[in-house]
């Protein structure tokens, strides 16, 4: 089994082993796709307190999902986020199950974005079963989670990355409504056919580097983004 760089196997309570996800090639088809714009102003801690993340930072979290194969392809770009990363999970970049204002347990842990300068990136494809290295009620918080659950209720999920200076989250964004193949939800309330317009808080570097454009083009999907309403 191929182990994703930065996602090491982790022992957890009960004597089991939380094996790292399998890194796989990109599927030929997808069942849904999302772009979530992440900002520091919507970060919450485990007590439900709003604790803003890295000032001026932002992120573009691009996800393409094949829920039939339980595969998620990710293309993450962060701007203004300063490592070192820090999390009790096996990495510091996650999808959490939590509605707006709720921290929520992590369900998937991704390799942390890396690079030089102000823009950091991470991309690849992971196949479940998923683990996080965080144990709650005697089991890993990724145990039993499938991508079909995210597709069934995407607005109950968020994505973020954690750093040593901003342990609750440097930036965070909430998933929007699911769009099936043929259209893409941006996580900002947009619909297919709208013009491209990123949030003002997202630097141009993120728009230019948003890998979902290339991901969608290679998959024959129609790109749809959102403008603020």
Q: How confident is the model at residue 209 (pLDDT cuts 50, 70, 90)?
A: very low
CA distances for 157 relative to 85, 87, 107, 139, 175, angstroms: 21, 18, 9, 20, 6
The residue extents of the domains of the chain are 17-219
> 122 near 76, Cβ under 8 Å?
yes
Residue 116 backbone zone (phi > 0: left; psi -120 to 50: alpha; other: beta): beta
Tokens of 93: 């970049």
pLDDT for residue 21? 86
Q: pLDDT tens digits, residue range 88-109?
A: 999 999 999 999 999 999 999 9
pLDDT for residue 16? 35
Q: pLDDT tens digits, residue range 39-95?
A: 999 999 999 999 999 999 999 999 999 999 999 999 999 999 999 999 999 999 999
- pTM of the complete model: 0.77
pLDDT for residue 179? 63
**Coil/strand/helix, residue 226:** coil
């Amino acid at each position: 089994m191929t182990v994703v760089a930065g996602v090491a196997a982790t022992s957890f309570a009960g004597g089991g082993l939380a094996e790292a996800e399998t890194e796989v090639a990109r599927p030929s088809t997808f069942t849904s796709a999302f772009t979530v714009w992440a900002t520091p102003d919507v970060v919450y801690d485990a007590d439900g307190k709003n604790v803003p993340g890295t000032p001026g930072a932002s992120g573009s979290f691009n996800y393409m999902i094949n829920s039939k194969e339980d595969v998620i392809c990710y293309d993450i770009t962060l701007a203004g986020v300063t490592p070192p990363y820090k999390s009790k999970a096996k990495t510091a970049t996650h999808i959490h199950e939590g509605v707006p204002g709720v921290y929520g347990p992590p369900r998937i842990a991704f390799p942390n974005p890396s690079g030089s300068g102000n823009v950091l990136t991470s991309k690849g494809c992971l196949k479940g079963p998923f683990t996080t290295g965080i144990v709650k009620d005697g089991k890993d918080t990724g145990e039993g989670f499938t991508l079909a659950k995210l597709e069934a209720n995407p607005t109950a999920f968020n994505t973020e990355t954690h750093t040593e200076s901003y342990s609750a989250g440097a930036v965070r964004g909430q998933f929007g409504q699911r769009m099936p193949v043929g259209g893409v939800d941006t996580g900002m309330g947009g619909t297919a056919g709208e013009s491209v317009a990123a949030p003002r808080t997202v630097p141009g570097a993120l728009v230019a580097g948003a890998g979902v454009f290339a991901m969608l083009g290679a998959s024959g999907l129609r790109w749809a983004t959102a403008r603020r309403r």
